[in-house]
């Protein structure tokens, strides 16, 4: 992957489409082909679609630093270099990880826009609809990642070249979220339901689930409830009985969308598993904090056995590599799963209040608790689900899956909770820390149109 900051904003314009043989996609590998001989038929466009998924593989590689380590969930082992900036809430604009994250997301956006620009060569309307849905889904996911991390960012709605300077400037967070919403609403109508194509491809259910989270981020609780109800009512997804199987029985019925990898494959593997599981003894990234460990109830033994590495309890236990080479792990990265959907549904019903007695919300919450073998709330109308309990449940159930920081922001609790956590560790958390700095390299090449975020 090219690292030029000039090119990263433009989706790495000169990057050729690389091959991808992700699990269950069942598509032939795509060789690099120049633009002048590419996208002449549906098969070639499908190759471009698979290249989108190949691009998505770069996004989770260091995302844990921007989300889990930038919260009260995880830390470094020895406060190492750029990594320590996340746990101390002192991220610099020159931080390498944020630059790579910016680049990876715009690379995926570029690939999606390439497909959207060439759909006219696909004659089969059903196939064309699927390809468009997949491209819109990926483009929305990447823009959603960027706006939550950096606030206002450039919206790229088509393939651009370096002379398209109007695309340098930031759109407001509200504009970016509106764009993401529009893409996901369209994707939900274009994509097939689960099972039509191989596991690992975007589906209508995945688009609606992600749309529900976007609507909650916008504060549109009623609309989020309606969309999430559609996912639940589809009966396409379920909680697995075994919590551990969610992460080690890949392609299961709890997963709405994951980014797929292969074991021991230099092109299709990842190394985040090495960094915060087996590799923790070496580099020590993404270790559970004492605060998180204390938050896990002694009764929560089912989840604790998965949250913490049984052979090294100080390390994360999710996504432990099964590969022969720790840096060539094939563990898939889960973007959204059914437990997340159920808790988002309860959040939509809560609608920003401190509590609710809604039986719908309580039943959704109870499903997640019951799977973990924990006590549940009564469903006779006497029980109350509190905002605090729901946020806590999300913290434990979805720990180390890159949700914690954004959950705190969405619930309006980031400043309070992270402020107290930072103070207890001799650090500080300010309102400026709610978003990251724009990578300095991007600001430098933007001809003055990218403005650095306040406080950086």
Parallel/antiparallel/unpaired status of strands 333-337 and 74-75: unpaired
Q: Other CB atoms closer than 10 Å to residue 51's CB: what's the count?
A: 23
Burial 13-26 (b: 16+ CB within 10 A, else e): bebebbbbbbbebe
Are the C-beta atoms of residues 396 and 72 closer than 8 Å to each other? no
Instruction: Write down the residue that tokens 């985040």 correspond to.
Output: 272
Report the residue count for the chain: 456
Q: Residue 161 has what pLDDT?
A: 78
Q: Residue 260 has what pLDDT?
A: 95
Domain ranges of the chain: 1-191+415-446, 272-331
Q: Residue 5 has what pLDDT?
A: 31
Low-confidence ranges of the chain (pLDDT < 50): 1-23, 25-37, 280
Q: Quick one: three-class SS letters along 416-436?
A: HHHHHHHHHCCCCCCHHHHCC
Strand partners, 334: 258
Q: Identify the sign of the CA torsion 297, 351, 235, 249.
A: negative
Burial 112-141 (b: 16+ CB within 10 A, else e): bbbbbebbeebeeeeebbbbbbbbbbbbbb
Nearest to 385 by CA among 348, 422, 424, 420: 348
Q: Residue 277 has what pLDDT?
A: 65
CATH match for 1-191+415-446 among 1.10.10.10, 2.40.40.20, 3.20.20.70, 1.25.40.390: 1.25.40.390
Between the CA of residue 416 and those of 35, 140, 412, 427, what are the distances in Å? 51, 30, 8, 14
């Amino acid at each position: 992957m090219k690292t030029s900051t000039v090119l990263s904003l433009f989706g790495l314009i000169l990057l050729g489409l690389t091959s991808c043989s992700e699990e269950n996609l069942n598509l032939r590998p795509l060789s690099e082909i120049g633009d002048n001989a590419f996208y002449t038929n549906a098969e070639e466009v499908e190759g471009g679609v698979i290249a989108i998924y190949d691009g998505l593989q770069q996004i989770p590689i260091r995302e844990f630093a921007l989300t889990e380590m930038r919260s009260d969930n995880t830390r470094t082992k020895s406060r190492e270099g750029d990594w320590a900036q996340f746990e101390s809430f002192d991220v610099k604009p020159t931080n390498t990880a944020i630059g790579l994250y910016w680049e990876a997301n715009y690379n995926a956006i570029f690939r999606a826009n390439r497909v959207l620009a060439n759909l006219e060569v696909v004659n089969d309307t059903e196939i064309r609809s699927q390809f468009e849905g997949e491209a819109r889904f990926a483009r929305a996911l990447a823009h959603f990642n960027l706006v939550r991390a950096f606030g206002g960012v450039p919206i790229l709605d088509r393939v651009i070249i370096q002379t398209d300077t109007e695309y340098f400037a930031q759109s407001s967070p509200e504009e970016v979220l509106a764009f993401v919403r529009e893409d996901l609403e369209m994707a939900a109508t274009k994509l097939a339901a689960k099972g039509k194509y191989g596991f690992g491809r975007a589906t209508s259910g995945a688009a609606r689930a992600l749309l529900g989270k976007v609507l909650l981020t916008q504060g549109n609780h009623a609309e989020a409830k309606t969309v999430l109800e559609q996912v639940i009512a589809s009966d396409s997804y379920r909680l697995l009985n075994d919590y551990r199987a969610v992460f080690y029985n890949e392609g299961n019925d709890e997963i709405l969308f994951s980014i797929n990898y292969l074991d021991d494959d230099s092109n299709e593997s990842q190394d985040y598993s090495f960094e915060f599981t087996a590799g923790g003894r070496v580099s020590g990234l993404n270790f559970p904090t004492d605060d998180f460990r204390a938050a896990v109830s002694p009764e929560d033994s089912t989840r604790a056995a998965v949250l913490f590495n049984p052979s090294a309890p100080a390390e994360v236990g999710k996504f432990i590599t099964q590969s022969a080479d720790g840096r060539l792990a094939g563990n898939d990265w889960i973007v959204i799963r059914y437990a997340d959907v159920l808790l988002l549904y309860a959040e939509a019903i809560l609608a920003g209040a401190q509590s609710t007695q809604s039986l719908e919300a309580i039943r959704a919450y109870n499903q997640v608790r019951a799977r973990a073998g924990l006590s549940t709330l009564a469903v006779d109308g006497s029980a109350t689900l509190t905002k605090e309990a729901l946020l806590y449940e999300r913290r434990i159930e979805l720990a180390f899956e890159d949700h914690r920081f954004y959950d705190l922001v969405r619930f309006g609790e980031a400043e309070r909770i992270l402020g107290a956590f930072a103070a207890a560790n001799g650090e500080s958390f300010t309102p400026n820390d709610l978003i990251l700095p724009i990578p300095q390299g991007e600001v430098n090449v933007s001809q003055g149109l990218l403005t650095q975020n306040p406080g950086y």
